[in-house]
Amino acid sequence: MSTARDTYHHGDLRTALIDAALEMLEAGEAFSLRAVARRAEVSQTAPYRHFADREALESALAVRGFRDLRHDLAPSGDLPATEDELIEFAVTYVRFALRRPALFRLMFGQECDDSNDERVVAAGALQGLVADALTQIYPDADHQTLAQGVWALAHGLAFLHLDGKFSAATDDEVAERVRAAFFGIRALGAATT
């Protein structure tokens, strides 16, 4: 029979703690560093070797979320090369939010901790992915403004679904709503030029 002390030495403690916290978060369980230690089957003081407090652990969860989202958006590293692929990129973003709502809310529901280098880098990598895609699709556009608009539309749709303002009855229904919103913006742009 292993004890908390025995299990601490079997692997990567930091990852085990993040995994335990993520399980608790996604199950809707309240968590503290002590509760996470119990879930990870380590001593009550073990989390403090890696996280000063709950906020530091939450930042680590946000980093995991940004990395997971980036992977979902570009699993093979390929960027969208057309407007239609960009729209599917937005569909994937909204689907991630609906599949992992607690993590998504943690990632974006709090002010970004600019003192956490790992979180800043992870969030920046996600923003960079969007900017790189837009540069590839619209080489002559104002990429900063366009990136803000695309992100705002996808992010707004994600939260409108999460907050129950839009039905998320089926995955197809959600995808069609995202596509329709982007097609509407595209049509608006074409009508004003």
User: Are 169 and 80 in a shared domain?
Assistant: yes
pLDDT of residue 178: 95
| Same structural domain, 63 and 41 | no
* Nearest-angstrom CA–CA distance, 190 and 193: 5
Instruction: Pull the structure tokens for residue 133.
Output: 């895609």
Same domain, 67 and 20: no
78: which DSSP letter? P
Q: Tell whether 72 and 166 lie within a shared domain.
A: yes
Closest CA to 15 of 36, 44, 45: 36
Distance of alpha carbon 135 from alpha carbon 122, whole angstroms: 20
Domain count for the chain: 2
The structure's pTM equals 0.86
pLDDT given for residue 1 in this prediction: 39
Q: What pLDDT does residue 110 have?
A: 66
Q: Please tell me the predicted confidence (pLDDT) of residue 35.
A: 95
21 in the same domain as 89: no
What pLDDT tens digit does each residue of the chain (193 aa) get?
A: 344 444 445 478 999 999 999 999 999 998 899 999 999 999 999 999 999 999 899 999 999 999 999 999 999 888 999 999 999 999 999 999 999 999 999 998 766 656 667 888 888 888 888 888 999 999 998 888 888 889 899 999 999 999 999 987 799 999 999 999 999 987 766 666 5
Q: Are residues 66 and 108 in the same domain?
A: yes
The enclosing domain of 108 has a CATH number of: 1.10.357.10
- What is the predicted pLDDT for the residue at 121? 85
- Specify whether 42 is located in the same domain as 11: yes
Burial class (CB in 10 A: 0-12, 13-18, 19+), 185: middle
pLDDT of res. 192: 62
**Last residue of a domain, which of 29, 51, 73?**
51
10 with 62, same domain? no
Range of the domain at 29: 1-51
Based on the domain organization, do 75 and 121 belong to the same domain?
yes
Taking CA 18 as the corner, what is the angle to CA 12 and CA 21, rounded to the nearest 5 degrees? 140
| 59 and 130, same domain (yes or no) | yes
Co-location of 12 and 67 in the same domain:
no
Do residues 92 and 23 both lie within one domain?
Answer: no
